[in-house]
A and B are shown apart, each in its own frame.
Chain A
Amino acid sequence: GAVVSQHPSWVICKSGTSVKIECRSLDFQATTMFWYRQFPKQSLMLMATSNEGSKATYEQGVEKDKFLINHASLTLSTLTVTSAHPEDSSFYICSARRTGSLNYGYTFGSGTRLTVV
């Protein structure tokens, strides 16, 4: 159990276009999901916390108007990279925590490799 599906696994887009990444918890409900970004040879950097039915909470330095997060249901959060530029090229990873308790681990998606050309 506790599977998180992330789609697409990779995407190439042109500069100036927008890209949407989906994160789904397949077999559990997730009130809270998290979005991370990872550059080559670096650790994961938390971008934002996505809360079902409310606005996301962004980490310091992350542009909320550029990285739009929507968490419309207990099983789906989306991250839209708007007006993408080459510097947005990165590995984006989502994570979901089962609703109710810290006694469950956080489950991660397999990541989305974004390349902006």
Chain B
Amino acid sequence: DAKTTQPPSMDCAEGRAANLPCNHSTISGNEYVYWYRQIHSQGPQYIIHGLKNNETNEMASLIITEDRKSSTLILPHATLRDTAVYYCIVTGGSNYKLTFGKGTLLTVNP
């Protein structure tokens, strides 16, 4: 799987948009970008995934650059319950395992 790079931590004010970046410069054409988050002592929660186009669901938006070498997860109105470790994972093709990096600890402050 392509390697991803994320900042170790970020802060965001409650009610503001949280923009979490991810670099995946070695991504191949048939690999998807997945985002998960893990709240302390729970299993990871699926947020969103995409291949080429930008995606939006009830939780977040995923913006993938045209060259697909980076992406941004956007939480439009962060709440305190969004405080978690966010993982950006690239997988697909013949290898569909989800391999977790260190992720970004997002802290939403009141």
The answer to whether A binds B is yes
- A residues engaging B (CB < 8 A)? 4, 6, 32, 34, 36, 43-46, 49, 91, 93, 95, 97, 102, 105-111, 113
State which size class the interface on B falls in.
20 to 34
Contact yes or no, A110 B43, CB < 8 A: yes
Contact yes or no, A109 B96, CB < 8 A: no
CB distance from A26 to the nearest CB of B (A): 14
Contact yes or no, A95 B98, CB < 8 A: yes
The 10 closest A-B pairs by CB, nearest first: A108-B43, A105-B46, A44-B100, A43-B100, A108-B44, A110-B43, A111-B43, A93-B43, A109-B43, A43-B102
A113 to B96, CA, bound (A): 26
Contact yes or no, A34 B97, CB < 8 A: yes
- Interchain residue pairs with CB less than 8 A apart (5): A36-B100, A43-B102, A45-B100, A97-B96, A105-B46
A111 to B34, CA, bound (A): 20
Contact yes or no, B41 A46, CB < 8 A: no
Contact yes or no, B96 A102, CB < 8 A: yes
Contact yes or no, A46 B99, CB < 8 A: yes
